Structure 1
């Protein structure tokens, strides 16, 4: 578990409670966590800092998760992404061809499973 220490993760969700929950979980696992509440904020943060992983909510106001992925891909950003969605089965065909997307997690999710998914992507 030691090798994960210091990995930078960006959490993008418009729901403050979910951002705080995921931040608590991941900082407890030893990761460095940043937060963004909008797609625009997420793109700005990725352009200003390098992250090892982004946990991205699919349904965001103004710039949704898919658009965030398209912008980052167009800009040549290579960042592994875990997409969270309440409609995971509906969106998978739409976004699985985006190579940054490593996993799609259905909300609500099991915390233990979530941590395992994060660890898998970061290995």
Structure 2
């Protein structure tokens, strides 16, 4: 079965870019533009990896991650942020967060990280 990735970002350009890139690599890609949509998607679809922006409308990215932890949802997370250097230290202690990406990111590097994460 194809592995699934959920891309959560309020910028449509980033969602489309990642969706095109990842579908070309054979992944099933879902997208959401805010944390509320992300939680709904996770509730209705099996997700292997979630790429989520730190700053989101309605429900913030970090709130989504904390909710998943509370619900004991096991999925790998790549956190994206325009200000990765300003993220609180607690972020790096969350076990499901496998990678923190600074925006703008190199899509080829991101593709490599994702393929490595999902290869296991």
Q: Give the TM-score normalised by structure 2.
A: 0.94
Alignment-derived partner of residue 37 in structure 1: 33
1:61 aligns with 2:57: yes
Aligned residues of 1:92 and 1:104 also touching (Cα < 8 A): no
1:11 aligns with 2:32: no
Gapped regions of structure 1 (runs ≥ 5):
none
C-alpha distance in structure 2 between counterparts of 1:67 and 1:24, whole Å: 27
Structure 1 counterpart SS, 2:93: coil
Match among 63, 67, 71 for residue 67 of structure 2: 71
C-alpha distance in structure 1 between counterparts of 2:84 and 2:24, whole Å: 26
Gapped regions of structure 2 (runs ≥ 5):
none
C-alpha distance in structure 1 between counterparts of 2:107 and 2:88, whole Å: 21
Moved more, 86-95 or 22-31: 86-95
1:114 aligns with 2:110: yes
**Cα RMSD after superposing both structures:** 1.2
* Corresponding pairs, count: 119
